[in-house]
Amino acid sequence: MSAARESSAPILPGATLGVMGGGQLGRMFVHEAQRMGYATAVLDPDPDSPAGHVSHHHIPAGYADVDGLARLAGLADAITTEFENVPAPSLQHLAVARPVSPGAAAVAIAQDRIREKAHFTRCGVSCAPHAVLQEAADLANVDEDLLPGILKTARLGYDGKGQQRVRTRDELAAAWQAAGGVACVLEKMLPLDFECSVIVARGRDGLMVHLPPQRNLHRDGILAVTEVHEYSMPADVAEQATAAARSIAEGLEYVGVLCVEFFVLMGGTLVVNEMAPRPHNSGHWSMDASDVSQFELQVRTLAGLPLTQPRQHSPAIMLNLLGDLWFPDGDTPREPPWADVLALPGVHLHLYGKAEARRGRKMGHLNVTGADIDAVRGTADFAAALLGLAIPLSE
């Protein structure tokens, strides 16, 4: 282990923090690090990456490019990642010279649903009933009780990608072939009440803090709405989800920000879905309704700064803004009516600096805060109507 990794001294403002990935999460990390007095360096192969445009340094190289990794390690005093599919060996390579969080071992587990579910089980957290399918022979051994189910590729799945619903064995076989015959997990389809997530932050010293549990609504596998307030879910469910997320982070000996997503079944049973080793779309509300945002937690854990328990000061609703909003009348893009939206009280617009709007592309988010949840919901409904968002705030 290098001296850099052994040191427990905090990395103070004035130093340079690096991030693997130049998307919107990297951009928001860069903004937060700069606010706190750090310089930043981004490694991303896209010369027009949102984070690269606002960082002090942008290294336009692939995530496994040895020269690019060496440049990042030469510039940055510590390095994090903004997405879960960064090659774990690259993080391991960087960790020889610089503190890296989250570590390669934790990221590698999050990249593989099979290993991820095994970790959840070791931590005593319930998963949906499932079967691991690694070869064609495994299909014949699938328990009939797992159908209907959802077939998910073990790797490289996010925002609903790599997932297919199957009702019969024939559909399962066809879906597995359509996925390329790669390793998959078949999960039993369960009677879902709602979805929620918990964001935890764990420091190098093992101290852990968390944001309040977040109630989430998805559309086509992509997060559409997050609500965070005292009435968003039963108190016992919130407590169970928080305890489970903390157990999962502790079991990984995790350092950094971790989001754990859950299903809440009819009747209140909680089952874990997946984890993301980074800040998460469902935590964006914290930028305007908490005294410490998820991105400040990312900076603090990376730099080894003290962690304080975040305090939510306002009820909040987050609306995800996809590129579809730019195409209300067909194929000609048109800027949404931001002036009308921003005339509403408690509305906070965050756009990600992406040059081109495309359908399904995450372009930004809208946070709505207020004195009470009824007022927040009313404003969020009005903002959604102005934008043409056909999103109810509850199922």
Tell whether 181 and 213 lie within a shared domain: no
Given a contact cutoff of 8 angstroms between Cβ atoms, the answer to whether 340 and 240 are in contact is: no
Binding residues: 113, 152, 157-163, 187-190, 195, 218, 273-274
Tell whether 209 and 61 lie within a shared domain: no
Tell whether 318 and 268 lie within a shared domain: yes
pLDDT at 162: 77
pLDDT at 159: 57
Find the domain containing 313 and state its range. Answer: 192-387
Q: pLDDT (tens digit, 0 to 9) for every residue of the chain, 395 residues total?
A: 333 444 579 999 999 999 999 999 999 999 999 999 999 999 999 999 999 999 999 999 999 999 999 999 999 999 999 999 999 999 999 999 999 999 999 999 999 999 999 999 999 999 999 999 999 999 989 999 999 999 999 987 665 567 899 999 999 999 999 999 999 999 999 999 999 999 999 999 999 999 999 999 999 889 999 999 999 999 999 999 999 999 999 999 999 999 999 999 999 999 999 999 999 999 999 999 999 999 999 999 999 999 999 999 999 999 999 999 999 988 899 999 999 999 999 999 999 999 899 999 999 999 999 999 999 999 999 999 999 997 654 44
d(CA 370, CA 315): 6
Which domain-ending residue is among 188, 213, 234? 188
pLDDT at 8: 75
Tell whether 21 and 51 lie within a shared domain: yes
Decide if 374 is inside a domain.
yes
pLDDT at 4: 43
pLDDT at 158: 61
Give me the half-sphere count of Cα atoms (radius 13 Å) on the Cβ side of residue 386.
19
Binding residues for ATP: 113, 152, 157-163, 187-190, 195, 218, 273-274
Tell whether 160 and 263 lie within a shared domain: no
* Tally of domains in the chain: 3
Instruction: Report H helices in the chain.
Output: 3-6, 24-35, 50-54, 66-75, 88-94, 104-110, 113-122, 137-140, 169-178, 235-252, 286-289, 294-303, 338-342, 373-387
Tell whether 200 and 280 lie within a shared domain: yes
d(CA 113, CA 110): 7
Which domain-ending residue is among 150, 167, 188? 188
Decide if 392 is inside a domain.
no
